[in-house]
Chains A and B, each alone.
Chain A
């Protein structure tokens, strides 16, 4: 095999989209974190300087990832998964607390966040398990096992008080559904979601009333009537769920989480109170929406954002990086970023479907799902479409662990994809 063929095997479209996002992401980190008029690109005390180093190291990481034999990832997936779990568990002993979450290891002056790597590890494990010849995804036993594989890291992350990252593990549902998980699960999720939202928005009574009308209506319209037990059981479940959701909202959620949901579902009616909530509790969201909105159609220009320069949006170089894009690059730039993300996701999805080996396909699907979840939650949050959930925007947000985690996630798949011809 000639040298050139080896490079052409890699999917360069994905790689170019990845490079675009990383490069543009860094420009925005520069904007969001520079102080004063002079910029020293190699000032490593500043986020933009550090990120530049992270990006350079990323290229080294990519070379390593692509040099490893594709089979290695499948063969050692269980071990990688176990290492991931151990690194998460180790946080309880050696972890360093930053902003209330114990998600970091401190090594020298650096911090590493293992949860960013655990996603890739879990994806490998899920792919491995699903592609095992003995696994039947329709069997309840295997469903439970898969659930445990996914839930273990998720619970560990949740215990470190990083609820946002836990939610990301929900993205594996798309993977399992694609691989043949019974449709009933999809319906359960949809119905659960609808009832939860309705219970909070309209209160238990209206929700239960509406549910019973639907359930019994269906029951009586059906020609072949099953036992009456079925609708009654469903209704009972709905009742429990309804009260459960309210109980969960009121007793278990912390006040700041309650406010986020309350604002999102417009539970508060008093406009003055809403405005005050936006300013006090959801200050970040308020400022980020204002920054985005102030960008207008064309944006204020690179390094010209007044709200960015004034550091109006807290955490702007990390979770709220998209507001910088909004202010400085306007509608044109922001829409372009959204489009590039969508193209990347669709490209990964298409590559995954083209895989001959089930392992590669499941893994590819996991990559797309995880990235999609981050994309949807992060940008949705920054623009005020969904409640505030603090997770980074892949390839964009400041942070070495995040960048490397997503790079590993993506480039393992690029390597697997390049190997598809060799599959039998």
Chain B
């Protein structure tokens, strides 16, 4: 049996080896992938990010070089730290701290030692750089905003997050990606495709030449330039007018659905989110919970539409045949319904037909129209479904499907909605009468209102609002050139539009007329509440205005929403008139309106809920007057904001 010892040992060793091989090569190994092979260095060649132009071909966003000081800790030789620190404008403690961080990250991999040097610092440092072994300067392209405005539209780029890297294998640690606005919507077009070179490394991490003679290397593809539908002049003007106010302006070209202006106020200078101070600024903006500068109010702020909604109530009633243009209601300043139901009206009282009902915004008239629409059917569930369908055909109560990355649905109630609310109650038109005047359960965002106005201006159809006008060498989305027809016949629009026109002539906005332009509009006021210390507290009403002009062949449809601006014509109406004049005439004749808007601030209103003191609202609240601001800075005047930090103004005293 002695012969068997070696025999068995050979077999055992053989089997052990195969087992070990299986463990190393099959059990714990994954398929070979060049990208994950750390014997191959991947060198990325980043293409130029596409430029962004406005509808008139003005450059809004370009690129600028930025210089990062990089370090490879292993290669660092002893150096004159005092001199180096003074060149970099950092303290010795910072130097040591950053160096230790870099070393912990990896002794042999490059680490960003100081990001975003200014051009001046770079010029000084560049000549002395070779003295500091292990340090080098890396050039990157950053965004260069040619405007101080439109931050909510343009968005910004920032380093990809871990979860984005996991989702898309294209991105690598440290890559930049669009985070908001068009930078996010058109990320793939703007970024281009980075090129890659595979380089064979040796064990000392030195390059020994291209892998397979560059067989797998690719060239970078330049990012595509895009043109957006924004009119930068109008955008800037809108943001200028909205200073010291909270809210949004959305202007749409009705014939195309192109978004001319998308103002969210307060906003911020887009240059604040570029360069060295980026994260500090971002944190400040993020933490401003009163003004919420990073939130796009024109897309995200849901509110009751108020009176502009009456136009749709009228159109629906006409379409359903429950009223005619001649149907009249006698208004006594209050509308009675049900057993004890009462709805006040500010129209002044008298006989109200469709035209005057709209012009004077008579609540009684629309309560009647709405009631008739619902009562037309025996079943109020079915009636509300039909009504809701008409309203929704204007794009309300749903995501509009714009090419902006964010949005809200709003709410248009239907039969099922109220069945759920009143499960044990036979609800009817009077239960939900508030809807007649754009209150109750209806919720919209400013862009919903603007789109609704565009559909009225078009006499019955709209195009999905969109921000993209042209992508270099590429078709834009077909959905944006597809007509969305409303359920209202074209012939019903003229009388309603005449009513909207008369809002300017003899109605709630007569003092907002602009010479030479036939504007149709509608004021709106929306009550609103907040909760302070557990108490439901009413705040000053929101000021709302929708308008389009000219009356025939409309060029612009606009919705303005000013938080706590009180009645519709007060802030929103003025701003809408000015915007329309600016867009159509390119100059302002109503400087009285302009001055009024610019010198009236609502800051005091926004501080009230946080003041912990009792406060007055609406008519009893006082104006806060401010000085006329500096003249509007226009596009193509880049501002060196990269190294600025934000100063949020201290509360101005209430005058």
Q: What is the interface of chain A, defined by CB distance below 8 A to chain B?
A: 36-37, 174, 177-178, 180, 186, 287, 289, 292-297, 300, 306-307, 309-314, 326, 330-331, 334-335, 338-339, 341-342, 345-346, 349, 353, 365, 368-369, 372, 375-376, 379-380, 383, 385
Contacts and interface: CB of A to CB of B under 8 A. Distances in A.
Q: Is the interface of B mostly helix, strand, loop or mixed?
A: helix
Given A342-B10, A342-B11, A368-B10, 17 more contacts: A292-B21, A294-B37, A295-B32, A296-B29, A296-B32, A297-B29, A300-B32, A306-B37, A311-B202, A311-B208, A312-B203, A314-B203, A338-B14, A368-B6, A372-B10, A375-B13, A385-B17
Given A306-B200, A334-B21, A297 B26 contact: yes
B24 A292 contact: yes
Nearest to A350: B7
Given A296-B30, A312-B39, A376-B13, A177 B2 contact: yes
B531 interface: no
Contacts of A36: 209
B17 A379 contact: yes
B105 interface: no
Contacts of A383: 17, 20-21, 24
- Give the 3 A-B CB pairs with smallest separation, nearest first: A342-B14, A306-B39, A331-B25
A195 to B, nearest CB: 21
Contacts of A372: 6, 9-10, 13
A186 B1 CA distance: 14
B86 interface: no
B219 interface: no
A372 B14 CA distance: 10
B201 A310 contact: yes
B31 interface: yes
Interface of B: 2-3, 5-7, 9-11, 13-14, 16-18, 20-22, 24-26, 28-32, 37, 39-40, 200-203, 208-209, 211, 213
A338 B17 contact: yes
A295 B6 contact: no
A234 to B, nearest CB: 24
B25 A326 contact: yes
B67 to A, nearest CB: 32
B128 to A, nearest CB: 35
B17 A380 contact: yes
Nearest to B16: A385
Contacts of B20: 383, 385
A383 B201 CA distance: 23
B3 A353 contact: yes
A380 B12 CA distance: 12
B3 A296 contact: no
Contacts of B39: 306-307, 309-310, 312
Given A306-B39, A310-B203, A293 B29 contact: yes
Contacts of A186: 5
A369 B6 contact: yes
7 contacts: A310-B39, A326-B21, A346-B11, A349-B6, A349-B7, A353-B3, A385-B20
A349 B201 contact: no
A180 to B, nearest CB: 7
Given A178-B3, A385-B20, A293 B25 contact: yes
A275 B22 CA distance: 22
A1 to B, nearest CB: 32
A335 B26 contact: no
Nearest to B28: A293
Contact of A338 (B21, B203, B208): B21
A294 B18 CA distance: 16
A330 B22 CA distance: 10
A326 to B, nearest CB: 7
Contact of A335 (B18, B29, B209): B18
B22 A331 contact: yes
A341 B14 contact: yes
A78 B21 CA distance: 42
A294 B37 CA distance: 8
- A186, A326, A365, A376 interface centre (most CB from chain B within 10 Å): A376
A349 B10 contact: yes
Contacts of B30: 296
Contact of B32 (A287, A294, A342, A380): A294
Contacts of B201: 310
Nearest to B212: A37
Contacts of A295: 25, 29, 32
B425 to A, nearest CB: 68
Contacts of B10: 342, 345-346, 349, 368, 372
Given A335-B18, A372-B10, A178 B202 contact: no
Contact of B26 (A177, A296, A349, A368): A296
B3 A331 contact: no
Contacts of B202: 310-312
Nearest to B6: A174
Nearest to A329: B25
B628 to A, nearest CB: 66
A208 B200 CA distance: 54
Contacts of B13: 372, 375-376, 380
Contact of B213 (A37, A306, A330, A346): A37
Contacts of B31: 296
Contacts of A309: 39, 200
A385 B18 CA distance: 12
Given A349-B7, A383-B20, A331 B203 contact: no
- A287, A306, A369, A375 interface centre (most CB from chain B within 10 Å): A306
A310 B200 contact: yes
Nearest to A345: B10
A287 B203 contact: yes
- B3, B21, B37 interface centre (most CB from chain A within 10 Å): B21
B21 A335 contact: yes
A410 B614 CA distance: 105
Contacts of B213: 37
Contacts of B26: 296-297, 331
A153 to B, nearest CB: 21
B25 A297 contact: yes
A339 B18 CA distance: 9
B24 A293 contact: yes
A276 B415 CA distance: 70
Contacts of A177: 2, 5
A289 B24 contact: yes
A350 to B, nearest CB: 9
Contact of B6 (A178, A294, A296): A178
Contacts of B203: 287, 310-314
